[in-house]
Structure 1
Amino acid sequence: MIQVPEINLGGILPALVLSLAGIFVMLMCLFMRKGAVPAAAIVSLAGILVAGAANSHLRFLNEQAFSGLISLDAYTWFFNLLILIAAGMTVLTSVKYLTDDELDLSEYFVLLLFSSAGMMFMVSANHLLTIFIGLETLSISIYVLAGILPANLKSKEAALKYLLLGAFSSAIFLYGAALLYGSAGSLGLPELSKYFQSGKIGQMAYIGMGMLLVGFAFKVAAVPFHMWTPDVYEGAPSPLTGFMSVGVKAAAFAAFVRVFFESLISIQVNWVDILWVLAVLTMILGNLAAIVQDNIKRMLAYSSIAHAGYILIGMIAGQEAGTSGILYYLLAYTFTNLGAFGVVALVGRKGEANVYLDDYRGLARTNPLLALAMSIFLFSLAGIPPTAGFVGKFTIFSAAIKQGYIWLVVIGVLTSAASVFYYFRVVMKMYMESPEAEPAKLQFGPAMLLALTIAASVVLYIGIFPTNYLNLAAQSVKPLF
């Protein structure tokens, strides 16, 4: 007799709303043909707002749905909210980018909504197969978005590289899941947890765990699985690069943390040392490689790699303090990086011509508010108070010290200090150097102005008044413990 699984559409309503909004935008663009970008952006924002309202009730749940395939809890609520923020900010920063370049690419917003829906399935997954479905949904959309610029060869190169390496990492993840299924007889996280707690663990299960770790490490751009990041970030449209750096990373870390802390926590001693090495390599290589970059998108790409190393410190520290530190860090990083890439998109003008550090010379003279916003974002990335980035690093480092990872924190602090050099180099060029030629006055669109204002304000506000947001992060990780 076939057992029909329970249906709980309310649990997946945020993802359903985004999917329906994406379908509506796609159909709408068939009739509008030309000039559909502003209308597509408005509908996308409306869908994101409705999805946010539909997500609100998840904060007060702690249950499973669809026969245990997904978890509906505060942890899912937090990451859904983070993804919606990233998607909404990306829509705002993309409108001017697309209209200035005369790109009638309304399908851009369709793919953005579909990828966000995939991320939501990934963060709520309570089953390895659900994680894989969400992973592929978001990945396929991002592959297309990375190569969406019609006359840009770097964009095509970025899409091809991401597709090839992404497919390879997905295959590794899926094969690891197959090995775990062969060992435990299930892909559900609770069943895997019982298997690893039994003490009767076969070698095949350890290999499967290692393959899962490789798959997640690729998505979060941890060294040595970071190879795709600089080229893809450089070639993709700047607003999308910001979305990739925060949305994909947040979804991957959400699933990473849930799998390893719900299913593999009983064998933490077997994987924590591996993460220790990955974190150190990621922080060192990310920051050192960023120092020598003269392209700001590649510099921010290596910076993104380094930040994955800092977040891994939170995973190594574990416990509620380390895990809640990850959530706060990702919240701060979302507004910071989306704001930084918004500035990059604005300064780049048509065709992303101005993406080198020297293009930021004298920006404070011609566009003082834009230079101020960029400085706030760079200070936050460097971990300078009173920005949110400082609180995020302080929280994660404090949790690691409490667990005895002194040397790991020392390396984190030293690499963070090294990052000040390349972040401040941009600030120096904006405020203390003159442009080689008289630059044209940048024109802010209302959507871009709103996005940059929100990002800069939030980065400062949650850095100066972090208590409520730290408590919110601590409450959101309770379902994992």
Structure 2
Amino acid sequence: MFAQLSTFDAPSVDWFALAPQIILVGAALLIMLITALSARPVPGWFSTGLTVIAGVASVIVAMVLWNDVRDEGAYSTVAGAIGVDGFSLFFTVLVSLGLIATALVGDSYLRREHMAAPEFHALLLSASTGAIVMASANDLVVMFIGLESLSIGLYVLAAMQFRRPQGREAAMKYFVLGAFSSAFLLYGIALVYGSTGSTNLVVVRDATSTLGNLISPNELLVVGIALLLVGFAFKIAAAPFHFWAPDVYEGSASPVSGFMASVAKAAAFAALLRVIVVAMGANDGDWAIPLAVLSAISIIVGAVMAISQNDVKRMLAFSSVGHAGYVLVGVQTATAEGMSSALFYLFVYTFMVIGSFAVVSVLGWDGGHPIERYEGLAKRRAWLAGAFTVFLLAQAGVPFTAGFVAKFLVIKSAVADEVYWLAVLAMVASVITAFMYLRIVMSMWMRDADVDGAPVLSISPATAFVLAATVAVTLVYGVVPDSLIEFARDAVPVLVAGG
């Protein structure tokens, strides 16, 4: 027996390929260790600074790996469970940048709300690690582990506003519905394993390629993949699986809401794209209609519900549902052009949303976010109103913003794939949602400020830096998007080929 154990071959591990995840986990553990051993409370600037340093280091390592992959080709590690390709590194950069921005915005928010900074940043780091694992996973079980690492961190982050009833409600709803969606995913993984004998995406792809089409005797595999798609639809807040999003975004701390709406959504889309293109590559056209319908419902629900809200955070929550629909416009094409447009959309959307919630964080001094609070903001803080205007116009798809380029690319991919009805619907819905965005803009610039009882708006240098950076990204990629489009296209070929 012991002789047999001695001949066991452990899977080869390329530790440098795992460096981004190791850096983030190491920073989280270091924060918790120092907090536990320190005789005095750890200052917030320390955990914020360490989180930012870890995020920057993760980006640098990802870009080094990107050059290696471009020169030598994509590869996998940990027995093929983790893919190292342009796709995974694209999302590593995206998640790390989102982590940095959220940590900086959260710094002043935590001090204002008297919340524990070390715990906040440790959870943020662990959630970001899970997001990167989801994007890198080449195995359904590893993907699920990454998803749970992300979700558990977010459950606790949502609950950190426990002093307010909305915070407790948000945490409970997110936990219950998040567990519900995880059950769909886990059951789907079990069915896929039962029908193929493996959870590796490449093996699953080989099994689906033998079916010819998914209308086949192998109903077990079809149902398993369908359950996976339903579970991911919950995670990306696509209608009609979006019911948790408005209440959770409204009740959570604003920096956490921004992280959920951007980084967490991007990670869920990354996992969805892996499953669609790698595991279902031979039959991706069979799922085009369900994905197109899901996209259409999300766009319609997001547009109609957003314009009926009076709370800005709920407006942004329903807007997030609509944006999920627009990303799905590109995804449902299952083409290289559609996938690259979806990646571009997710990248710029992350910055627009984090910037938007940074503004919301500044104005939510008592936890309330009525639209009336934004009236006359231009007369109190013109540059803050200007930044929010840029983010809102970009989300509306106004020309010369990154949001316009993103919507143009996904709609163009739908037209190229001859899904004309979805392209028309997306354009019409953009006009409808523009009303909601312009409603906030008009309140800020065209109405008088009601400053009675309102505190002086205090904006930390860290938050100001994030606002300036996100505005710059939104405008620069709206005028000269070529470099980011190329970045997104370089991330697609390995993904489409099933690397």
TM-score by length of 2: 0.94
Find the counterpart in structure 2 of residue 155 from structure 1. 167
Q: Is the 8 A contact 1:35 1:104 kept in 2?
A: no
- The offset of 1:348, in angstroms, is 1.1
C-alpha distance in structure 2 between counterparts of 1:368 and 1:8, whole Å: 50
Find the counterpart in structure 2 of residue 286 from structure 1. 302
Find the counterpart in structure 2 of residue 241 from structure 1. 257
- The offset of 1:267, in angstroms, is 1.9
C-alpha distance in structure 1 between counterparts of 2:141 and 2:42, whole Å: 40
Find the counterpart in structure 1 of residue 108 from structure 2. 96
- Identity of matched residues, %: 37
Alignment of 1:288-437 (within 5 A): 288-349=304-365, 351-353=366-368, 355-437=369-451
Q: Is the 8 A contact 2:104 2:463 kept in 1?
A: yes
Give the unaligned 5+ runs of structure 2: none
- The offset of 1:105, in angstroms, is 3.5
- The offset of 1:32, in angstroms, is 5.7
- The offset of 1:79, in angstroms, is 0.3
SS of equivalent to 1:404: coil
C-alpha distance in structure 2 between counterparts of 1:242 and 1:336, whole Å: 10
Find the counterpart in structure 2 of residue 76 from structure 1. 88
Return the match for 2:51 from 44, 53, 58. 44
- The offset of 1:3, in angstroms, is 3.1
Return the match for 1:117 from 129, 145, 156. 129
Find the counterpart in structure 2 of residue 13 from structure 1. 19
Alignment of 1:64-213 (within 5 A): 64-199=76-211, 202-213=218-229
Which whole-Å deviations, capped at 9, do the CAs of 1:221-268 have from their partners, x for residues lacking one? 011111100010001000110011011111011110111111112222
Find the counterpart in structure 1 of residue 485 from structure 2. 470
SS of equivalent to 2:83: strand
SS of equivalent to 1:106: helix
Q: Is the 8 A contact 1:195 1:201 kept in 2?
A: no
Find the counterpart in structure 1 of residue 35 from structure 2. 29
Q: Is the 8 A contact 2:191 2:221 kept in 1?
A: yes
C-alpha distance in structure 1 between counterparts of 2:385 and 2:39, whole Å: 37
- The offset of 1:153, in angstroms, is 1.7
Question: What is the root-mean-square deviation of aligned Cα atoms in Å?
Answer: 1.2
SS of equivalent to 2:114: coil
Greater than 6 Å deviation, 4+ residue runs: none
SS of equivalent to 2:332: helix
C-alpha distance in structure 1 between counterparts of 2:367 and 2:463, whole Å: 16
1:453 aligns with 2:453: no
Q: Is the 8 A contact 1:29 1:40 kept in 2?
A: no
* Between 149-158 and 459-468, the greater mean CA deviation after superposition: 149-158
C-alpha distance in structure 1 between counterparts of 2:108 and 2:50, whole Å: 16
* Between 209-218 and 93-102, the greater mean CA deviation after superposition: 93-102
* Between 203-212 and 262-271, the greater mean CA deviation after superposition: 262-271
C-alpha distance in structure 2 between counterparts of 1:415 and 1:104, whole Å: 41
C-alpha distance in structure 2 between counterparts of 1:51 and 1:25, whole Å: 17
- The offset of 1:194, in angstroms, is 0.5
SS of equivalent to 2:84: strand
Which whole-Å deviations, capped at 9, do the CAs of 1:115-168 have from their partners, x for residues lacking one? 000111110000000100000011000000001124112111111111111111
* Between 440-449 and 76-85, the greater mean CA deviation after superposition: 440-449
- The offset of 1:35, in angstroms, is 5.6
Which whole-Å deviations, capped at 9, do the CAs of 1:170-197 have from their partners, x for residues lacking one? 1111111111111111110110011001
- The offset of 1:201, in angstroms, is 5.5
Q: Is the 8 A contact 1:276 1:408 kept in 2?
A: yes
C-alpha distance in structure 2 between counterparts of 1:360 and 1:33, whole Å: 39
Distance 1:430 1:32, change over 3 A: farther
* Between 35-44 and 118-127, the greater mean CA deviation after superposition: 35-44
C-alpha distance in structure 1 between counterparts of 2:160 and 2:450, whole Å: 32
Q: Is the 8 A contact 1:239 1:341 kept in 2?
A: yes
Return the match for 2:75 from 60, 63, 82. 63
Q: Is the 8 A contact 1:367 1:441 kept in 2?
A: no
Amino acid at match of 2:484: Y
Give the unaligned 5+ runs of structure 1: none
Amino acid at match of 1:348: G
* Between 321-330 and 151-160, the greater mean CA deviation after superposition: 151-160
Q: Is the 8 A contact 1:128 1:188 kept in 2?
A: yes
- The offset of 1:435, in angstroms, is 2.4
C-alpha distance in structure 1 between counterparts of 2:320 and 2:118, whole Å: 28
C-alpha distance in structure 2 between counterparts of 1:455 and 1:242, whole Å: 13
Which whole-Å deviations, capped at 9, do the CAs of 1:396-422 have from their partners, x for residues lacking one? 110110110111000001111100000
Q: Is the 8 A contact 2:285 2:334 kept in 1?
A: no
Distance 1:32 1:380, change over 3 A: farther
